[in-house]
Structure 1
């Protein structure tokens, strides 16, 4: 598949590393594709470099790995992305009453806001429930990690499920895009454990089924 990763920070870079050598045509959409860090990432992963707009236009799947505060403006510059599968791996984080929290919740979600900005695209929420360190390499884990996804288009979710398997995850369908209202708070559970409860960042959720007797 042709995969465009828009955003080359920790998350975008980790996904590019996780997809390296998996047979995909990966392009990195960066505001300045000529910076040394982005160039090194492209050499390391075998990805091509492009502007965000050019990468998104060429991709079958467009993966948004952007800071939430910059997302709306960055998405507007990509064009309508009509018919394309768009993976939203962002979390709508900001300061709420002096602490880090979700800026939207019960009546909407970040993914639904992304869909409203790209009404002709097929948005799937996933890859928001795990740290970048795990996205880059799942091979060290004793269990195959779970990754929930939510979206309204079954064919789009099937494509995304294959991508998640290539990254080493067990894809789990959470339902329609409104179920992103469940997945984004799940990210807060991960953040709470990783950053506030001392567990660190090198872990992920797994769904372990009891052995049949």
Structure 2
């Protein structure tokens, strides 16, 4: 048989295989993200800080080859390896290892002490980064899969998921407050931390604020006349 004849018979199989590949779900590594960080608990920070992850995908993710990095100068400075499986929709809390009123009493999925405490920030921004590679492979140029930068200006040049210098996501949280990513993707200071739970609803403008704005607009129109 001529080679081209056999190729004709194989083409339907190749087309079916290609279609099956297109229908495969995206890689699980892209579905886990940072959700909330308590870097400055009320009182002492030691053994009370935590970082919350969320699995926004539809399949479980084994965190055995994932890691966290944090700091102000580089993501490669302070790092820790992750373990455990995070189920679809699950909020997964890493840190502690103590759970107390000072850190909103989290149920810790991975209890561990951040031996170099998370940075409390100030005029210079600090941040936390999530990596989908083992901790030993995180270097100064390793791209994270999820980042939050908080505090003042990012003068250290901490980079985001694309490798570009990251914008500051949220200001510095006062002691006892966390920073949390809302359903709209915006990071906010959360006065009442919610470890292990979905984010608080995005606050809507109060009615009296809207009424005041409407009144001011009417006054402006009348004056213009």
Q: TM-score, normalised by structure 1?
A: 0.32
CA radius of gyration, larger in: 2
More helix by share: 1
Give the TM-score, by structure 2 length.
Answer: 0.31
